[in-house]
Structure 1
Amino acid sequence: MDGRVLRTVCGNFATGVTVITTGGPDDFTGTTVNSFTSVSLDPPLVLFCLHQRSRLHPVLRESGGFVVNFLTGRQEPLARAFAGRDAGEARNVPHHRSPEGLPVLSEALAFLVCRLIGNYDGGDHAILLGEVLDLGVPGHDENPLIFYRGSMRVLEDEPANT
């Protein structure tokens, strides 16, 4: 199977754009991820996939938790910054700490604070499972940032009534 062809075909599935953040009381790092999904409502579980060589792994293991930050359309520059290899520098990004001490992007469309409960092999990626402990929708009036056919885009139109 040609990985480039697989990536192109899977690119026809529109996904949301998230930044996964984690860290301890004195540090904060994150990475842009579009491989996120809800798993279960009872118990409340979500997962995301992270490249095995991601710089986020050691910080995530140390913190024991993560935040899924759903991005707004105006946050594309933030998504691009966290997608880079040097995205660990996050001090200037508006954020606050959850009750669990994890960094939450203050201007996100919505967020989920999670406790890491599973780490599974997924080939060149790890499948990370989290239990949702807290959530919020600070940017509920904003349009979401999506990823489709290799590009970030803003979902602007309301769905048609059928």
Structure 2
Amino acid sequence: MTATQPQTRRPHRAVGPVDGKLLRNVCGLFVTGVTVITSGTGEEASGATVNSFTSVSLDPSLVLFCLHKDSRLRQVVEETGAYAVNFLTGRQEQVAWAFAGRQTATLQSVDHHLSATGVPVLSQAMAFLSCRLVNAFEGGDHTIFVGEVVELGLPCADQEPLIFFRGSMGSLEEEQRGTHPIFDG
């Protein structure tokens, strides 16, 4: 009688030119928060849902996010020279979807106020960072925006965050469902 050998799963591997769809699927296994980047003033003010956000440095206080080169928000950020990063709560999934597509919600349809840099901040966000644009770098089909944090706030810090995992959004306390890609404007 022979003992049954446990079968080992061979991980899927890709070498060489990596398919963009496969890269998106693999990167989708990295849990991220969901933000809405807001920028502009007056009629030009706009926002876009983005999950490509990270802190860069504490001294000086720098953060970055990425936008597709064809994003409607790209020119607004460049012209304004400032932006706000709004960290969404688990209850703000509808807000995230409203700002995710090309036909985005207007800032007038969401409670907001102006930051120290003059750009809109979503009043019901878990937290926000108001930033002065320091630099922009080309990164393939995206632009990487680096900003210095000049103001921050924690309006709803006691809420659960909205997260993005495997192509879907949800809060930490609920099971992730469906696959809906985040579009970055």
TM-score over 0.5 for the alignment? yes
SS of residue paired to 1:83: coil
Name the counterpart of 1:155: 172
CA-to-aligned-CA distance 1:78-116 (integer Å, 9 cap, x gap)? 000100111152211100001221100000000000001
Larger radius of gyration: 2
Unaligned runs of 5+ in 2: 1-17, 175-185
Contact 2:62 2:148 in 1 (8 A): yes
Separation in structure 2 between the aligned mates of residue 100 and residue 150 of structure 1, nearest angstrom: 33
SS of residue paired to 1:74: coil
Q: What amino acid does structure 2 have at the position aligned with 1:19? A: V
Change (3 A) 1:28 1:88: farther
Aligned-pair CA distance for 1:26: 4.3
Structure 1 stretches (4+) deviating beyond 3 angstroms? none
Separation in structure 1 between the aligned mates of residue 106 and residue 87 of structure 2, nearest angstrom: 19
How big is the alpha-carbon RMSD for the aligned residues of Structure 1 and Structure 2? Answer: 1.2
Separation in structure 2 between the aligned mates of residue 120 and residue 99 of structure 1, nearest angstrom: 25
Name the counterpart of 2:97: 80
Tell me, yes or no, if structure 1 residue 130 matches structure 2 residue 147: yes
Name the counterpart of 2:13: none
Alignment of 1:13-92 (within 5 A): 13-87=30-104, 89-92=106-109
Corresponding pairs, count:
157
SS of residue paired to 2:129: strand
Separation in structure 1 between the aligned mates of residue 135 and residue 44 of structure 2, nearest angstrom: 23
Among 108, 112, 122, which residue is 1:105 paired with?
Answer: 122
Q: What amino acid does structure 1 have at the position aligned with 2:58? A: L
SS of residue paired to 2:106: coil
Percent identity of the aligned residues?
61
CA-to-aligned-CA distance 1:20-71 (integer Å, 9 cap, x gap)? 0001144420000000000000000000010000000111112110000000
Aligned-pair CA distance for 1:6: 0.6
- Higher normalized strand content (fraction of residues): 1
Separation in structure 2 between the aligned mates of residue 26 and residue 15 of structure 1, nearest angstrom: 31
Separation in structure 1 between the aligned mates of residue 74 and residue 21 of structure 2, nearest angstrom: 25
Q: What amino acid does structure 2 have at the position aligned with 1:129? A: V
SS of residue paired to 2:22: helix
Separation in structure 2 between the aligned mates of residue 154 and residue 22 of structure 1, nearest angstrom: 25
| TM-score, with length taken from structure 2 | 0.82
Unaligned runs of 5+ in 1: 158-162
| TM-score, with length taken from structure 1 | 0.94
